[in-house]
Amino acid sequence: MQMRPLGTSGLQIAPIMLGGNVFGWTIDEATSFAVLDAFVDRGGNFIDTADVYSRWAPGHKGGESETIIGAWLARSGKRGRVVLATKVGMDMGEGRKGLKAAYIKESVEASLRRLRTDHIDLYQSHQDDESTPVEETLQAYADLIQAGKVRLAGASNYKGSRLTQAMEAGGKPGLARYATLQPNYNLHSRQEYETDLAPVAAAWGLGVIPYFSLAAGFLTGKYPNREAARGAMREAMVGKYFDPRGERILKALAAVSAETGAAQASISLAWLLARPQIIAPIASVTSVEQLDSLFAAADLNLSAEQLKRLTEASSY
């Protein structure tokens, strides 16, 4: 598994990022610890979470995922083997949201406490805050980088025009510059990223770390049709992908899987890794066994013809 640089930080990352949204939500602490141990022991090192994970779950208030990761770091002693990313800006309730400098500096302290670490390797704006000048946000990140609490800043859920504005402002005296972009991007969800954000990422050399890389499980082949997804916890999230394009994509994935012997999840991630600017797709798992398809993707070399077939099947 070939490591790659993360911005200009000197950090090296594995080409698959482990999504932490499931920790404390769909898997408990013990299972989360097992997944994290297995991921790092097999050579993975890039872990994504957010302060808001998993506020949407009944009885949760946010911070559950960071708390579990922090407990694991304290127990395992593996902080030095991990490139840790978290996010700020989503609604945490009681007016706590956005990207104003004071709120970012307040939130980073809460994340550091939950994560039980003295620094965050990649601190990301979870969504744009149009009520706050991009310069104010980037100055806050610069201050945190100067203080050693953050190493790099990243963006997520931006529109191309606002991301361009942020990139043009970034790097000026006293302002940080975003090093990464975290968009919704996969074989099915292509158009918004490719038409609006990909040109900006290319122009500024942003490392792209797509979320929903497996389209909530749709691209794994776990749900071969809409009926198979009925009653599943993720039915509402998966159901929208069962359109004519989705069916073409599943058919193409099945064909490439038959040719290569690789799991459809691995093929979907390998397709992303072959796209420009992609440095590490994000994928979540709920068991140690599911890590196999993630690691297989990092070493899977699809042929030019197979990549073309997948791209054409998912064309929009």
Q: Which of 53, 123, 141, 223 is catalytic?
A: 53
- DSSP class per residue in the chain: ---EE-TTS--EE-SSEEE-TTBTTTB-HHHHHHHHHHHHHTT--EEE--TTTTTTSTT--S-HHHHHHHHHHHHH--GGG-EEEEEE-S--STT--S--HHHHHHHHHHHHHHHT-S-EEEEEESS--TTS-HHHHHHHHHHHHHTTSEEEEEEES--HHHHHHHHHHTTSTT---EEEEE-B-SSSS-HHIIIIIHHHHHHHTPEE--BSTTGGGGGGTS-SSHHHHTTSTTHHHHGGG-SHHHHHHHHHHHHHHHHH---HHHHHHHHHHTSTTB---EE--SSSTTHHHHHHHHT----HHHHHHHHHHT--
Catalytic annotation on 53? yes
Q: Catalytic residue numbers?
A: 53
